Amino acid sequence: MATAATAAFFDLDKTVIARSSTFAFSRPLYQGGLINRRAVLRSAYAHVVFLLAGADHDQMERMRDYLSSMVAGWEVQQVREIVAETLVDLIEPAVYREAIVLIDAHHAAGRDVVIVSASGAELVEPIAGMLGADDVIATQMVVEDGRYTGEVSFYAYGEHKAAAIREVAAARGYRLEDSYAYSDSVTDIPMLSEVGHPVAVNPDRALRREAAVRGWPVLDFTQPAPLRRRLPGQDAPPAALVAVAVGATAVSAALAWSAVRSRRTGVRKPPSRGPRHP
């Protein structure tokens, strides 16, 4: 099968799904005896902060350290089994309908779809499979004798995401200047800056300001809907979303103008699988 010439890179949390993928599995991990009640409560608090304000650099670094210490000693196979057993119930209802429309439209336009997330690969890969994505860039933990050591071999965050995207593009032959990227977080500016068509989705305040300065389109996803309800022909894709996905230059410019206009008025307008990295 020929490799696609371009790709669409999607952040996961608050961009494709309306929650933190890591927090979503805290209850089944607790029920499986891997974390205690205190860890569940701490995760719940972090999740609320994340949904309300996003995550800055310091918070992302603290999250890496916390997760590293928490997973040390866990059996990888047990984690994979817990994720597989609970994936549909926990994640599927939280997927944004608008994101699925975009993913489908990018595939229809002949682009590969790559999920790029700071969450662990054991969580991200099954979610990406459920979404029909072609590849995954995610955080990788060191494993010895079937257990996590607590060390991180690759942290998919900030500039590391951008570097991984460049590596994947070089390996697959993607033209990044004609590719797309979607994210909600200011920490993903390096990732968004790698492509010719960056789009801020449900952006935190800092990213919304940056998008205004750079003239990037802004989309607000508001409709989490279970994938199982998406029957063929059930819903027509919103015209603005399809236009962004298929890469019409004129419509991309119109979306950027609309974002500027919305800020001025105070009104928001809704708008082949290969080797994985690393």
Annotated catalytic residue: which of 11, 112, 135, 188? 11
Size of the chain in residues: 278
Give me the residue spans of the domains in the chain: 7-265
Whether 11 sits among the annotated catalytic residues: the reply is yes
Q: pTM for the full model?
A: 0.72
Mean pLDDT of 251-264: 37
Fold assignment, 7-265: Rossmann fold (3.40.50)
Cβ atoms of 236 and 219 within 8 Å: the answer is no
Whether 13 sits among the annotated catalytic residues: the reply is yes
Q: pLDDT band at residue 120, thresholds of 50, 70 and 90?
A: confident
The strand order across the sheet containing 180-183 reads 147-154, 135-144, 112-120, 7-11, 180-183, 197-201, 218-219
pLDDT tens digits, 56-107: 455 555 555 556 666 777 788 888 888 888 888 888 888 999 999 999 999 9
Annotated catalytic residue: which of 13, 112, 184, 204? 13
